[in-house]
Amino acid sequence: MVSALEILRKIFGYNEFRGNQLEIIEQSIAGNDALVLMPTGGGKSLCYQIPAIIRKGTGIVISPLIALMQDQVDALLQLGVKAAFLNSTLDTQSALRIEKEVQEGKFDLLYVAPERLLTPRFLELLDNIDIALFAIDEAHCVSQWGHDFRPEYVKLSFLHEKFPDVPRIALTATADDPTRSEIIEHLGLSDAKQFISSFDRPNIRYRIVQKRNSREQLQRFLETEHQSDAGIVYCLSRRKVEETAQWLCNKGFDALPYHAGMSNQERQKNQQRFIREEGIIIVATVAFGMGIDKPNVRFIAHLDLPKSMEGYYQETGRGGRDGMPANAWLAYGLGDVITLRHMLDSSEADEHHKKLEKRKLDALLGFCETTLCRRQVLLNYFGEAYRASCQNCDNCLEPVETWDGKIAAQKALSCVYRTDQKFGVKHLIDVLLGKMTPQVERFRHEKVSAFGIGNEYSQQQWNSIYRQLVAANLLSVDMRGYGGLRLTEKSMPILRGEKTIALRKDLEPQRKQAKKSAKREQKLTSIPNDELWQTLKNKRMELAREQGVPPYIIFHDSTLIEIHEKKPRTLPEFAGISGVGQSKLVRYGKAFIEVICQET
């Protein structure tokens, strides 16, 4: 039997395994079940692809999205691995041909959606072939409390009952303890060996800015750091997606919208452009991204707050899959907190689900408001201790000052109380600043004791104070009326002066800063910017277009950078580049060597 390391080197073009990949692969080769938690970009796919190549029969990969199947199969075919998929994009004739070839044992790997796997026709097909293994990708979809629940995944427990001798490997990049327990329970993996890798993505820089004019803030971020990079901008609503995409286009960026309200044809067209072209920005709701394999996404920007730490981790994890630097940038404000709390309170979920979702939202708000290393807080949420400062998040690079907010909090809470707990932040700040607005006059709030007591702080500072009080659950949002703020049980000790509170000292708007901090800007200097680099990229794009595949299917940026650095002039030299296996050496070696010889 050929060894796993031999396959890694000859087919995939890498000299050694990372982390616990080899141990996971050996577990599957031996015919045993495994549960794998590994961050995006950590090399999960190799953990089932190599055992499927080695073991007798076809590896059945259960994947939730068509885009992921297409990408994985295209990449495997480039490597000379026999792979195919069965999904709704195939016409009847093509599907019948693939089914016939599966029965003839022509594939090492077959990708299929859970819905198709559960059909009588496909189950009959499985009864008549040798199965190397079952790989259940995105296994967190089995959890009812997770962020991507797919009811079909719950039914996959039958695999163990129907095919008890076929090893199963369940894989996910995002699963807290409750989700992990559900995966084990619903998939019948109580005897499976668990492989839990670090959740850390050290190449991603986490940054949260206080939302002021989020579009202008986004524009500055892109112009300063990602002028021609591919990236994803997430928004909460379909309308905001459309408006933001159009606004970015008007500013000279190549931006495309993506949301569930668009036709399948429109979504598919925009997704394909994002995958197959360079420098495209997708503006999307959370409907976009799961299963996207594009490795050179250099930034993830959130114009609205995600709903949970799991969602945030998964969405930001789509940046920098190639291991090179990427930015996770989020604009966050009080409106986000109020909107998400309202959505949670008004949902039709049962109380248990609401309580769980509230904890998840509170954890995310704590992450946004923390003055500690963000990576520490993020990894601690997933049960992973991270004690050092990462020096790759905004709080580490520019430590946040805190201040004793006891008196300010008392004034803010008192204003809520004195105005009968019925009004939103804008009106409360007007009262604190002593502004005689029509609404203040109408309700005669110039008569309350809180009127004009907050002139030591600006409107922007009061907005920050209220945001932090709401995030800390010292104020709740009353959605039965007009979204007014109300006191909570936690606010009483503050009001009575029994407790104090430390508040973040938010940075002033960038336009008022005389100098920008060089540390805050993540210049991706590891990517070349010369004529040879552009020529290599052009050759990659030319080859990709000829075959109708994304450029990264030919070579990842990291491989192309090594070609640029080492400038191989012979096939043996080219074979020494990481990511160049035998198939790609034969396919592309001469073409890229010619480019190097012409340009140097």
Task: Point out which residues pair with 131 in neighbouring strands.
Answer: 58
**Lookup: tokens for 510:** 């960038």
Three-point CA angle 215, 373, 223, nearest 5°: 25
User: Left if phi > 0, otherwise alpha if psi is -120 to 50, otherwise beta: which for 75?
Assistant: alpha
Residues 6+ apart with CB under 8 A from 164: none
What one-character DSSP code corresponds to residue 548? Answer: T
For residue 146, what pLDDT is reported?
Answer: 57
Q: Is the dihedral of CA 198, 20, 65, 258 positive or negative?
A: positive
**Is the CATH number 3.90.550.10 carried by domain 531-599?**
no
Q: Is the dihedral of CA 456, 459, 461, 463 positive or negative?
A: positive
Cβ-contact 204, 316 below 8 angstroms: yes
Question: What is the gyration radius of the CA atoms in the chain, in angstroms?
Answer: 27
Residue corresponding to tokens 């794009």: 541
**Lookup: tokens for 237:** 């609503």
Global pTM reads 0.86
**Lookup: tokens for 563:** 């070609």
Cβ-contact 163, 25 below 8 angstroms: no
CA distance 344 to 516: 38
Cβ-contact 391, 204 below 8 angstroms: no
Pairing between β-strand 83-86 and β-strand 131-136 as defined by DSSP bridges: unpaired
End-to-end CA distance of the chain: 43
CA distance 444 to 438: 10
Query: Crossing angle, helix 66-78 and helix 264-276, to 10 degrees?
Result: 30
For residue 65, what pLDDT is reported?
Answer: 79
Pairing between β-strand 326-332 and β-strand 255-258 as defined by DSSP bridges: unpaired
Task: Please classify residue 157 by burial: count the beta carbons closer than 10 Å to its beta carbon, then call 0-12 exposed, 13-18 middle and 19+ buried.
Answer: middle
Cβ-contact 274, 230 below 8 angstroms: yes
Cβ-contact 284, 241 below 8 angstroms: yes
Alpha helix (H) residue ranges in 156-308: 158-162, 177-187, 214-225, 238-250, 264-276
Give the alpha-carbon dihedral of 347, 350, 352, 353, to 10 degrees.
Answer: -40
Pairing between β-strand 281-284 and β-strand 255-258 as defined by DSSP bridges: parallel
What one-character DSSP code corresponds to residue 190? Answer: T
CA distance 221 to 579: 32
Domain ranges of the chain: 4-196, 204-397, 402-504, 531-599
Question: Fold identical between 4-196 and 402-504?
Answer: no
Cβ-contact 299, 227 below 8 angstroms: no
- How many CB atoms sit inside 10 A of residue 229's CB? 20
Task: Please classify residue 531 by burial: count the beta carbons closer than 10 Å to its beta carbon, then call 0-12 exposed, 13-18 middle and 19+ buried.
Answer: exposed
CATH code of the domain made up of 204-397: 3.40.50.300
CATH code of the domain made up of 402-504: 1.10.10.10
CA distance 296 to 273: 14
**Lookup: tokens for 329:** 């940038």
Going residue by residue through the chain, which has 600 residues, state the pLDDT in tens, using 9 for 90 and above.
689 999 999 999 999 999 999 999 999 999 999 999 998 888 999 999 999 999 999 999 999 878 789 889 999 999 999 999 999 889 999 999 999 999 999 999 999 999 999 999 999 999 999 999 999 999 989 987 555 778 889 999 999 899 999 999 999 987 777 888 999 999 999 999 999 998 899 999 999 999 999 999 999 999 999 988 999 999 999 999 999 999 999 999 999 999 999 998 999 899 989 999 999 999 999 878 666 789 999 999 999 999 889 889 989 999 999 989 999 999 999 989 888 888 887 888 888 888 888 888 999 999 999 999 999 999 998 888 888 899 999 999 999 899 999 999 999 999 999 999 999 999 999 999 999 999 999 999 999 999 999 999 999 999 999 999 999 989 988 766 566 899 999 999 999 999 999 999 986 544 334 344 444 444 455 678 899 999 999 999 999 999 999 999 999 999 999 999 999 999 999 999 999 999 999 999 999 999 999 988
CA distance 122 to 156: 14
For residue 295, what pLDDT is reported?
Answer: 92
CATH code of the domain made up of 4-196: 3.40.50.300
* Nearest alpha carbon to residue 464 among 305, 359, 337, 330: 337
> Phi, psi (5° rounding) for residue 514?
-70, -35
For residue 525, what pLDDT is reported?
Answer: 52
